């Protein structure tokens, strides 16, 4: 997760790409000074769905998407989420 700040909110980033763009999506992180680079993510590429999810802390939806390289960000959504306990 990105570094938490006092005004940060939690976002679920959801990225989708075509099968032929899988390599591009991962390679686009090279050289990007993002806390998401070299971090764990949840992905469905190996099962053929070609989506990646991250949970990040950021001040805004735009700041959350700014953690991603342009290629990935333009194919992603950011949804504010909170942790809840399921009864």
Cβ atoms of 69 and 34 closer than 8 Å: yes
Q: How far is CA 87 from CA 10, 75, 83, in A?
A: 22, 34, 13
pLDDT tens digits for range 5-31: 557 899 999 999 999 999 999 999 998
Length of the chain in terms of residues written: 87
Q: How confident is the model at residue 4 (pLDDT cuts 50, 70, 90)?
A: low
pTM of the predicted structure, to 2 decimals: 0.85
Please tell me the number of Cα atoms within 13 Å of 44 on its side-chain side: 10
């Amino acid at each position: 997760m990105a570094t938490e700040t006092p005004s940060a909110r939690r976002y679920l980033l959801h990225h989708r790409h075509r099968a032929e763009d899988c390599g591009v999506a991962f390679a686009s992180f090279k050289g990007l000074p993002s806390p998401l680079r070299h971090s764990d993510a949840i992905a469905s590429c190996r099962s053929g769905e070609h989506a990646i999810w991250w949970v990040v802390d950021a001040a805004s939806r735009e700041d959350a998407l700014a953690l991603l390289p342009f290629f990935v960000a333009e194919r992603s959504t950011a949804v504010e989420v909170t942790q809840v306990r399921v009864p």
